[in-house]
Structure formats: C-alpha cells, structure tokens
Chain A
Amino acid sequence: MNPASPAAVVMGCSAGGLAALRVVLGGLQAQLPAAVVVVCHTGSEDIDTLVGLLARYCALPVEEAGERRRLVGGTVHVAPSGYHLYVEQDRRFSLSVDPKVCFVRPSIDVLFESAAQVFESNLAAVVMTGANDDGALGLRAVRAHGGLAIVQDPAEAMAAVMPATALRVAGADHVCSLAGIAPLINQWCA
C-alpha cells in the first residue's frame, strides 16, 4: 500500500450493532495502519457513552469523529448522532444536518459514498447487522470505486435486513461471520 495515501475502513451497523462492534473492533490489531470510521445507529444523542463503551473492547484509540478533524491511521472514529458524516477530499471529516437518508442520520450511505470518492481502492467497507436498508447504496459506491466490500453473513446477523439488502444491491468480496471480519481487515491492511 502506498504510504502517501493511507487507507480507511468504514463500518456501518444498526440494530444489534453494539454487540457486533465489540467483536469486530475487539479483533483489530493494535498496529492497524488504516483509519477506522464507524456509523452505528443508536438513537441516542450520547456519543461519549458510545465511545467509552467501544474503547473498552478495542486496542485502538476510539474517539468521536470531530468536525473538520483529520482521519488518523490506527484510530477508530465514531460518527456523532444527529449529523451526517462525510469524508472530504483533504481527508478530513465534515458534518451536516441535511435531511435523514433511509430514515436515519447519520446515514451509512452518506459516509460510504463520500469515503469511496476519496479513498477509492484504498477503502474497505463493512456492513453488519441492522434492520433497515441503509448502507446498501453506499457499499455499491465503494465497489464501483474499487474498494473492498465485506458483509456480515445475514444468517448469523442479529438483524438480517441490512446485510441482506447490501448483498442484493451491491454484492460483496467477502461474506463472513462477525468473528471473521477483523482478521480480514488486519490482513487487508498488511
């Protein structure tokens, strides 16, 4: 991987997402070179609690994705609730309060589509458990830009709609169990 253009991993989940993130973030290696960006619909405005929870299970630093902050390799950035989260061409975050997409804000589609245009083939995207369609169009954009698509096996997902829709709309390079996702990412970054 070209060190001048660091990679990113974007993840989206909804219902059942917290438990899924424990497994996946918990399996990421401490020396991960890529920046990780997570959208998890929780319905809560309390981002600090979510960040604190995830940090307990993850060897990497976990923090809120701050307005205009840079994506940092080896850091997990969590989307604040109530805002859409975008990656800009200068590899910094921006936020908006534009209308909800797929009835949610932040929307996984919004993050994935903007990240795909910036990172192109240096992007891996993960769609996990969730009870709505968000993430499917985003994953399609990731693949169209040459990025890697990983989808949790709908058969084992707590809520199958999100991964099943993503598979139908976008397809995937890997369909695997939760336990298999982190090793794939670690290997992709190597």
Chain B
Amino acid sequence: MSRPEPDDVELELFIRALQLRHGYDFSQYTRASFKRRVQSFVTAHGFATIGDLTTRVLRDDAFLAPLVAGLSVPVSEMFRNPIVFKALRDEVFPLLASYPHLNIWQAGCAFGEEVYSLAILLQEAGLYERTQIYATDFNDVALARAQEGIFPSRDARAYSENYVAAGGAGSLSDYYHARYEHIKLDERLKRNITFANHNLVADGVFCEPHLILCRNVLIYFTDTLQNHVLGLFRDSLCRGGFLCLGNKETLDFAPAGKDFVAINLRARIFRLAARAG
C-alpha cells in the first residue's frame, strides 16, 4: 500500500475539524462520494485545497451553514419513482386507515418535494386530516426552501407525469399556482406538516411514527451508520410501523435490518417485525 495522498490526509483533517469545532460528524459517510462532494465545494468556492477550506471553517462560524448545505446536496423530485408512491397508496394507506391519528416522519426531506407529494396522496385518500407529517433534515438551508414549497416550473411537467403514474386522482395543477416561472404549492397542504432540524447521525428517537420515509439517505452512510440509523428508526416506529427506503437501498449490511420484513421489495417498503415492535 502506497502512502496516503495529500487530499486524503486533508479530508481526514477536515472531517476531524468539523467534528471538534462544530459537532458535525461526517466520519461515517461513504468516503468516495463525500470526497467528491468536498472537492466540488472546494472548487466552486475558489479554495485551492481542502486544507484551505478547513482553515476557513475553523475560523469563520458564519461559513458553516453554506458549507453544510453544500455537503448535503439535496436532489429529489415530486413523486420520485411513482411506483413507490402508488404502493404506499395502495398497500400501506389502507393499513394506516385504522388508526385514529397518524404520525409520518420523512427523514432527510431535502427541498420538500416528497413531503408535498405525500400530503397530496394522503389528502386524496381521506387520511390527511388525522395525519401529522414531520419533515426533518440536518440542512437548515434545505429546510427553509422546503417550507416555501416553491419549485421551478420547468419541472412541473415531469412532476405531473409522476403524479399520474403514482395513481393521482386529479391533476397536479389542482395543487399549485404557477407564477414567475415557478410553481407554488397550495398553502393548505402545509397545514399538517412540521419542518424541523434533526440530524440522523447525532439526534435520538423521534415522534413515534406509523410510517418513516427515508429515501436515498442511507446510500451516503457506511454500514456502521446505516445500522445506527436503522436502529433509530426501529426504536422510533410504532408497533407494526412501516419504513420506505430509496429504490436501490438495502437492509442487507446492517444487523438492525433483520428487525424489518419486506412487504414490497421493489418499492423498498418494509414493516417492523412483530418481535422487534
């Protein structure tokens, strides 16, 4: 094995600095994608090296928020992978309908695309009035954007097609107003959504949900952190609660994954096993 490259040493020191100075622990993020993201941030902000970025974030607290925002790079779309939303609607909602009150936790809500998608489907299923959705992220910049519910209108067409493929009962345009090249989702969709900062790496059990959506978050975590987060989900969920992951995500490499059983593997929808509840 050759000696480590300067970039890799600098990356270790950067991670350590963020942890010591600011309490953000990225040490259990999958290294290849995290390194690429840090390097993109370094280039985009005109730093010469990761080391220079470390110096800046050690001394300039105001630089932390844009850095965290830059490192979390949320990417999603409304009704992303429509078959998943269709499966939630057809296979999970009927089982949730027996509860007088529902909590749903979307962990890692990015700009809110999927939260609003969920609110629309719940409304159409007649469940929204009794539902509280908690949409969390560790990125405050993304949370603020999510709360606005404003998206570029160039995406509206794809979102509408996804909505139809997800089994939407009407037209997506029933739920937004278009103006200034943007679409703004109906304010009323927010009435049962609480946006909150929650960091899956550091924070504890949350809100006793009946359903957790956490899509394309675990792919960024090492096996160890995946296991920690799945344990957190297990301990948070109600008895018999549901977990929905991203389309390529797997429970295979975390012992805590054994506490869940797949009810629709293609849509990555799992249920807390009876012995674990």
Contact = CB atoms under 8 A, between A and B. Distances in A.
Interface of A: 66-68, 80, 83-84, 86-89, 94-99, 110, 113-114, 117, 120
Interface of B is mostly: loop
B216 interface: yes
Contact of A67 (B73, B75, B248): B248
A89 B12 CA distance: 14
Interface in B18-33: 30-33
Contacts of B250: 66-68
Interface residues of B, number: 21
B223 interface: yes
Contacts of A98: 33, 36-37, 73, 75
Contact of A88 (B2, B32, B216): B32
17 contacts: A66-B250, A67-B248, A68-B223, A68-B250, A68-B252, A83-B219, A86-B33, A86-B36, A87-B32, A88-B31, A89-B31, A94-B30, A95-B219, A97-B75, A97-B216, A99-B75, A114-B36
B249 interface: yes
B63 interface: no
Contacts of B73: 98-99
A68 B31 contact: no
A27 to B, nearest CB: 30
B253 interface: yes
Contact of B32 (A67, A80, A97, A114): A114
B249 A84 contact: no
A88 B30 contact: yes
Interface string B165-179: 000000000000000
Contacts of A114: 32, 36
Interface in B212-227: 216, 219-220, 223
